[in-house]
Amino acid sequence: MISVSKLLCDLDAEGDGLRYDAADESGKPQITAEKQRRPVVVWNLTKQCNLYCTHCYASADTETAPGELSTREGKALLDDLADYGAPVVLFSGGEPLVRDDLEELIAYAADRGLRPVLSTNGTLITEERAEALRDAGLQYAGVSVDGLPERNDAFRGKEGAFDAAVRGIEHCLDAGLKTGLRYTITDHNAADLEGVVDLLTDVGLDRFCFYHLDYGGRGTEILDADLTPTERREAVKRVCEMTRAYHDRGEEIETLLVGNYADAGFLVEYAREHLGEEQAERIHDYLRINGGDPAGERVANVDYQGNVHPTQFWQNYSLGNVRDRPFGAIWADDSNPVLGALRNRDDQLTGKCADCRYRSICRGGSRLRALTVHDDFFAPDPQCYLTDEEVGAVGPDVGLPDA
Amino acid sequence: MPTESSAPDSETDVLGHEVTAPRASNGREWDLFVSEDATDPPRHAGSVTAPSREVAVEQAERLVGRDAVTLWVCPADEVTRRTTANVGLANR
C-alpha cells in the first residue's frame, strides 16, 4: 500500500494502519520507522455475500459455505493473532456484515489490542449498524465502489448497489467512523476514477484506495479486462495528478495505491520529473523502508474455513489451517517452500526484475500474477509498466511484458 | 450458520478430538508433502485447491516443487485429522 498523498503532498493522515509498515504510526518526519515485523491479517469471516461481483478474489457466493469459523473459534483465532503480535485485523468476506456476530468479534479484537478494520460493500450498513460498529471499537471502514452508478452496478451484479453503498458511507460518516473508498481499477472503470472521487468527496469522504486487479478467485476470469501497461501507467499518473490538484486547492484528500509495487518505481520517477531530485530521493528512502510487495511477510490471510494464505488473493494455496495449528506457528514456519520463496525472493527474480534499480522498493511485485501468467514463481509481474530506461535494464532479454 | 468443531470427549483423551470441518468449497483440497534431500522424510508443505489430481500435481510442482526431490500430493478428504483436546482451535 503506497500513500500517494503522503509521498507527493506530505499529508500525514491517520490512515487505517494497513500500509504494511510501522511508518504509518509515526509522526513527521516520515522516514524514521522500522520495517513492520508482524503481518496485518485479513480475515474473511464468511464466503457469503449479498452481491456477486465480477472480480471477487474470494469467489464469494450468495449462499453460506460449510465450515465457517464459529464465534468461539473466531475469538480463539483473535487470541492467536494478538499473542503473535499482529497489529491489525481486517474483517472481510464475502460480505462481513452478513454475520450477526461481527460486532462481537470486532469488540473482542479491540479488547485484545488488535486494531479492527473492515472491508465491506457498504450496502448493508444501516444507521444502527454503523453506530454498533463504532461502539464495538471499529477503527476504519473501507467501502468498495467500482465506478459511477451504472458501471458499478453492472460490475457488482445488482442494480442500486452504488446508491446503497453511498448510503452506507453516509451512515458511517454520520456515526463518526473513519471511512474510505476501495476501487479496483480495470479497463471497465478506469474512465470513472476522477468522477467517483469528485462525487464521494461531495458526500464527505476524504480517503481513496485504488487497487490493481490481482489474479485470484474470479479475478482470473477477467484478465482481458485488466489494463495494459500503457493504460496502467496513465491511470496511476492520473491518481497522482488528481491528488496534487485537490491539495493545490486546499482539499487534503488521502489517496493510496494498492497491489502493484511498480507504482513505487513510478512514483520516484514522477517525483524526479515534477518535484525534483531531493524529493525523489526522500520518496525512494521511504519506499525502501516500506519494503515492497508484502506477500508472505507483512500481510497474511485467514479464510472463513481457517486456511492461512500468503495474501488474501492467493486462495488456492494454503499454508495450513488454524484449526490444526496456531496462526503464529504456521506463519513462522520458514521451512514452508512458498513462504521461503516469498521471503527470500530478491536474488532469485528473473527477467527485467533481476537488475532492476527499483528491486529493493518493489521486490518483483505480485508472485501470484507472475505464476498465473508466466507459470514461473520468479518471473516479472505482468503488470509492471516501468520502461527499460526506468528500470536501468541493458541487454536484449529485457523489456515490457506483452500488453 | 458457522459450525463448531466437535467437542472433546474428556480432557484426558489422547488424540480424542477430530477436526471434521472442511477446508475447501471451490474444489477438492490436496495436502502436499515435500523433501529436499533424499535422506529426509517428506514434510507437510501446505495444500492446494484443485478439481483433479492432475491439476493438483501441476499446481504443487509450480509452488513447492522447485527444490524438491520428493513430492506427495494427497487428497485431504481422505485424511483424518485427530488431535489432543487442548490443540483444537476452540479449546486452546
Q: What is the pLDDT of residues A210-268, one digit of tens each?
A: 999 999 888 788 888 899 999 999 999 999 999 999 999 999 999 999 999 999 999 99
* H or E stretch at A3: strand A2-3
Q: Do B45 and A318 touch (CB under 8 A)?
A: no
Pick A12 or A185 by higher pLDDT: A185
Q: In this predicted model, what pLDDT tens digit does every residue of A23-77 receive, in sequence order?
A: 333 333 333 345 568 999 999 999 999 888 877 887 888 888 899 999 999 999 9
pLDDT for res A32: 38
CA distances to A108, A184, A190, A210, A302 from A259, in Å: 29, 10, 16, 9, 18
User: Is the CB of residue A377 less than 8 Å away from at least one CB of chain B?
Assistant: yes
Find the mean pLDDT for residues B35-43. Answer: 94
C-beta atoms of B47 and A318 within 8 A: yes
Q: Which residue in A308, A287, A288, A289 sits closest to A299, CA to CA?
A: A308
d(CA A378, CA A366): 10
Q: Tell me, what's the pLDDT at A248?
A: 95
Residues 56-95, chain A, touching B (beta carbon < 8 A): 59, 64-74, 76-77, 79-80
Q: Tell me the whole-structure pTM to 2 decimals.
A: 0.91
Q: What is the pLDDT of residue B13?
A: 66
**Packed helices A277-290 and A262-274: angle between N→C axes, nearest 10 degrees:** 160
Q: How confident is the model at residue B12 (pLDDT cuts 50, 70, 90)?
A: low
Residue A93 · residue A56 · CB < 8 Å:
no
Nearest CA in chain B to A303: B23
Distance from the Cα of A94 to chain B's closest Cα (Å) equals 13
pLDDT the model gives residue A401: 43
Find chain B residues with C-beta within 8 A of A295's C-beta. Answer: none
- Does A371 touch chain B if contact means CB atoms closer than 8 Å? yes
Residue B33 to chain A, least CA–CA distance (Å) = 10
Residue ranges in A125-216 assigned as alpha helix (H): 127-136, 149-156, 161-174, 193-203
Which among B27, B67, B89 has CB closest to A323?
B89
Q: 3-state DSSP call for residue A218?
A: helix
Q: Does residue B7 belong to the interface with chain A, where contact is any CB pair within 8 Å?
A: no
* 8 Å CB contact of A317 and B47: yes
**B42 CA: distance to closest CA in chain A (Å):** 12
Residue positions counted in chain A: 403
- Vertex A389, ends A384 and A394: CA angle to 5°? 100
Query: Which of A48, A73, A373 is the best residue to mutate to test the B interface, defined by the most B CB atoms within 10 Å of its own CB?
Result: A73
**Does the beta-carbon distance from A337 to B43 stay under 8 Å?**
no
* Cβ contact, residue pair B45, A337, below 8 Å: yes
Confidence check: pLDDT of A397 > 50? no
Q: Cβ of B45 under 8 Å from any chain A Cβ? A: yes
Rg of chain B's alpha carbons, rounded to an integer?
A: 16
pLDDT at B26: 83
Predicted pLDDT at A402: 39
- Quote the mean pLDDT of chain A: 90
